[in-house]
C-alpha cells in the first residue's frame, strides 16, 4: 500500500501530506510512492536517519550546508524520463544532456552540503564527477552545455566558416548546407555521448532517487520539529499518551481554542467508542489513523508518547460516499465499503476505522448489522475502532466512552465556537451497554427550535 493510495481515504491523511514542505517534484514523487512499511528493522533504521536529520536541522537551519542543500533540492528537476531514455539506449538531445550535466554538478554540491550536515553516512550520494567531465570537455566547470567544438574536429572549421558567412550575410545556400552538416555532426555527438553515458544510468538514477529521498527526509525532520512529533516505539499493542490531531489542533489554535490531547490504548479486536455528539469520536478515529500512517511511513507521530503495533495497512469507513450519479445511497456505499474491509481483514492484519456504521438505515436492521460487524472483527487480529450511537448491542468487546459534557455548564451563551470548553475529550473504560443520551441537551445548547426540542422531550417521556 503506497502513500498515494492511503491518502484517498477520508481520514485526514491528505492534510499531513500537504503539510510536508518539499523542495522538488522528485521529492514529492518519492513521498507519494513510499510504501506503508510493516518491517520493524526498516522502520527503526528510517527513524534513526530521521533523528539524525532532526539534529542536523536544529543545528544548521540557518547555516550554509543546510541552505545549500535546500537550494540544490529546489533546483532539482525530476529527470525520470531522460534517465529512462538513457537506459533504453535512446539518443539524448542537447537539453537532456544539459539536464544530466546539471544533475551531475548539483549532486556534488549536495554531497558536500550533506557531509557538512554530518549526514553523509545516512544519505550517500554517488560520485558523478566523471559524468560531469564527460559533458565538460573544455573543463569550464560551468553547468552550461552545447555540442562543444572539441567533441568533433569538424566543428571548429565549420563554425568558423558559418560565422564568417553569417556576419557578412553571405551565400544563403552555403549557410543552409553548413547548418545541415552541423546538425548531422551534433546528432552524431549526441548519440556518442548517450552511449558513453549509458553505463552511468544506474549511478544517475541512484543520484536522483537519493536527492529525492534527501528532500523527503528533510521535510520529515522539518515537520517533526514544527509539530513537536515523537519517535514511536514498536510493540504488540497500540498505545498513545497525549495523542493529537494536527489538523484540529491547528484550527483550534487559530481560533484561540484549547486543544485537549487524549490517551488511548488498543488491543487486537474491536474497541467500541461511544460518547455524545460533538464529543470528538470521529476525530479520535482520524487521530489514531493519522498517527499509524505517519509511524509506518517512517515519520514521527503527534503524541507525547507512542507505542505502535506494525500492521499491514489501514482501512477506513469514515464520511459519506453517497453518490447519486453512481446510484449509490449513503447506506449502499457504506455497506460495500465495510464488506470490503471485512474481506481484507480475513487475510491481513489491519488498522480498521469505522465511523458510525449503519447510521443511515433503519435502527432495527442497522443494530443487527453493527452487532455482526463487531462479532466478525472481534475474532480477527486486526485492530478495530468503531464509533456508534447504538446501545444494547450486547457485544462482547471493549468499550471506551468519551467523557463528554462536563456538568458545570455555566449559563454562558453557548455556540459551536465555544462549546468545546465544556467538553472533556478524554476516554474512560465503560462496562455498561448504554450510550449517552445527550442529543436533546446539545440541541438545547445550540439554541435550536424550542418547539422541536420540547415536543421531542414530551415524546421521550411518553414512551
Partner 1 sequence: MPFVRDILNHNSLSIVGLEKNTGKTVCLNYILKRLNELGTHVGVTSIGVDGEQVDSVFATAKPEVVLYEGTHFITSEQHYMKRQTVSVLEYVDSHRTALGPLVTARVLVRGKALLSGAATTGILRTQIEQLGSMGVDLTIVDGALSRLSLASPTVTEAMILATGAAVSANVKQLVSKTKFLHNLILLDEVDSDLRERLSVIPSGLWAVDDDGLPHDLGIASVFLIDRSEQDILRYGKTLFASGAVSDRLLRILAAKEKGITLIARDFTKLFITPEAYVEFTRRDGRLMVLQRSKLIAVTLNPTSPQGFLLDSASTCHALADALQTPVYDVKKI
Q: Which residues bind partner 1 (CB under 8 A)?
A: 25, 77, 93-95, 98-99, 102, 144-146, 159, 162-163, 166-167, 179, 182
3-state secondary structure at position 258: coil
Give the C-alpha separation, 454 to 459, whole Å: 9
Nearest to partner 1 of 79, 301 (CB atom): 79
Nearest to partner 1 of 2, 159 (CB atom): 159
**Distance between alpha carbon 8 and the CA centroid of its chain, in Å?**
11
* 387, three cell numbers: 464509533
Nearest to partner 1 of 179, 448 (CB atom): 179
* 160, three cell numbers: 568558423
> 376: closest CA among 402, 403, 357, 389?
357
Report the run of H or E that residue 424 belongs to, with start and end: strand 423-429
* 436, three cell numbers: 449517552
Q: Whole-number minimum distance, CB 145 to partner 1, in Å?
A: 5
Q: Whole-number minimum distance, CB 146 to partner 1, in Å?
A: 4
Largest CA distance in the chain: 106
Nearest to partner 1 of 189, 395 (CB atom): 189
Q: Whole-number minimum distance, CB 457 to partner 1, in Å?
A: 44
Contacts of 449 (CB under 8 A, 6+ apart): none
3-state secondary structure at position 21: coil
CB 248 within 8 A of CB 162: no
Q: Whole-number minimum distance, CB 364 to partner 1, in Å?
A: 51
Nearest to partner 1 of 77, 403 (CB atom): 77
* 423, three cell numbers: 467538553
Nearest to partner 1 of 140, 417 (CB atom): 140
CB 264 within 8 A of CB 288: yes
Nearest to partner 1 of 155, 291 (CB atom): 155
CB 397 within 8 A of CB 380: no
Q: Whole-number minimum distance, CB 142 to partner 1, in Å?
A: 9
Q: Whole-number minimum distance, CB 81 to partner 1, in Å?
A: 11
Give the C-alpha separation, 220 to 299, whole Å: 6
Contacts of 169 (CB under 8 A, 6+ apart): none
Q: What is the DSSP letter of 386?
A: E
Give the C-alpha separation, 272 to 426, whole Å: 15
Give the C-alpha separation, 63 to 53, whole Å: 14
Q: Whole-number minimum distance, CB 159 to partner 1, in Å?
A: 6
Q: Whole-number minimum distance, CB 201 to partner 1, in Å?
A: 20
Q: Whole-number minimum distance, CB 77 to partner 1, in Å?
A: 5
CB 247 within 8 A of CB 12: yes
Nearest to partner 1 of 146, 456 (CB atom): 146
Nearest to partner 1 of 146, 379 (CB atom): 146
Nearest to partner 1 of 48, 166 (CB atom): 166
> 348: closest CA among 373, 370, 372, 377?
377
Amino acid at each position: 500500500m503506497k502513500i498515494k493510495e492511503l491518502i484517498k481515504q477520508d481520514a485526514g491523511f491528505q492534510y499531513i501530506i500537504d503539510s510536508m514542505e518539499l523542495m522538488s517534484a522528485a521529492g514529492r514523487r518519492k513521498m507519494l510512492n513510499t510504501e506503508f512499511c510493516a518491517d520493524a528493522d526498516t522502520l527503526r533504521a528510517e527513524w534513526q536517519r530521521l533523528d539524525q536529520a532532526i539534529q542536523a536541522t536544529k543545528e544548521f537551519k540557518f547555516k550554509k550546508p543546510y541552505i545549500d542543500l535546500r537550494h540544490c533540492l529546489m533546483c532539482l528537476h525530476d529527470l525520470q524520463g531522460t534517465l529512462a531514455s538513457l537506459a533504453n539506449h535512446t539518443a539524448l538531445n542537447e537539453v537532456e544532456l544539459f539536464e544530466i550535466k546539471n544533475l551531475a554538478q548539483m549532486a556534488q554540491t549536495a554531497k558536500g552540503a550533506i557531509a557538512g550536515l554530518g549526514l553523509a553516512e545516512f544519505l550517500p550520494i554517488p560520485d558523478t564527477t566523471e559524468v560531469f567531465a564527460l559533458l565538460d570537455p573544455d573543463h569550464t566547470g560551468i553547468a552550461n552545455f552545447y555540442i562543444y567544438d572539441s567533441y568533433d574536429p569538424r566543428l571548429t572549421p565549420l563554425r568558423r566558416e558559418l560565422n564568417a558567412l553569417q556576419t557578412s550575410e553571405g551565400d544563403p545556400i552555403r549557410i543552409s548546407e553548413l547548418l545541415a552538416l552541423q546538425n548531422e555532426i551534433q546528432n552524431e555527438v549526441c548519440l556518442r555521448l548517450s552511449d558513453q553515458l549509458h553505463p552511468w544510468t544506474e549511478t544517475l538514477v541512484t543520484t536522483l532517487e537519493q536527492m529525492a529521498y534527501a528532500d523527503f527526509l528533510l521535510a520529515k525532520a522539518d515537520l517533526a520539529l514544527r509539530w513537536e512529533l515523537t519517535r514511536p516505539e514498536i510493540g504488540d499493542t497500540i498505545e498513545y499518551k497525549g495523542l493529537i490531531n494536527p489538523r484540529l489542533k491547528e484550527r483550534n489554535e487559530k481560533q484561540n481554542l484549547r486543544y485537549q490531547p487524549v490517551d488511548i490504548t488498543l488491543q487486537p479486536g474491536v474497541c467500541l467508542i461511544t460518547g455524545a455528539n460533538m464529543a470528538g469520536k470521529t476525530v479520535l478515529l482520524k487521530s489514531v489513523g493519522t498517527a499509524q500512517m505517519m509511524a509506518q511511513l517512517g515519520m514521527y507521530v503527534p503524541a507525547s508518547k507512542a507505542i505502535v503495533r506494525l500492521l499491514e495497512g489501514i482501512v477506513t469507513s469514515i464520511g459519506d460516499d453517497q453518490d447519486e450519479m453512481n446510484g449509490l445511497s449513503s447506506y449502499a456505499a457504506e455497506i460495500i465499503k465495510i464488506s470490503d474491509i471485512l474481506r481484507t481483514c480475513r487475510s491481513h492484519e489491519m488498522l480498521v476505522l469505522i465511523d458510525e456504521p449503519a447510521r443511515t438505515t433503519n435502527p432495527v436492521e442497522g443494530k443487527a448489522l453493527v452487532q455482526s460487524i463487531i462479532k466478525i472483527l472481534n475474532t480477527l487480529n486486526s485492530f478495530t475502532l468503531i464509533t456508534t450511537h447504538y446501545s444494547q448491542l450486547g457485544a462482547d468487546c471493549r468499550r471506551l466512552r468519551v467523557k463528554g459534557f462536563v456538568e458545570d455548564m455555566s449559563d454562558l451563551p453557548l455556540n459551536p465556537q465555544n462549546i468545546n470548553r465544556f467538553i472533556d475529550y478524554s476516554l474512560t473504560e465503560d462496562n455498561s451497554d448504554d450510550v449517552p443520551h445527550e442529543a436533546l441537551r446539545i440541541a438545547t445548547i445550540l439554541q435550536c427550535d424550542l418547539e422541536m426540542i420540547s415536543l421531542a422531550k414530551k415524546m421521550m417521556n411518553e414512551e
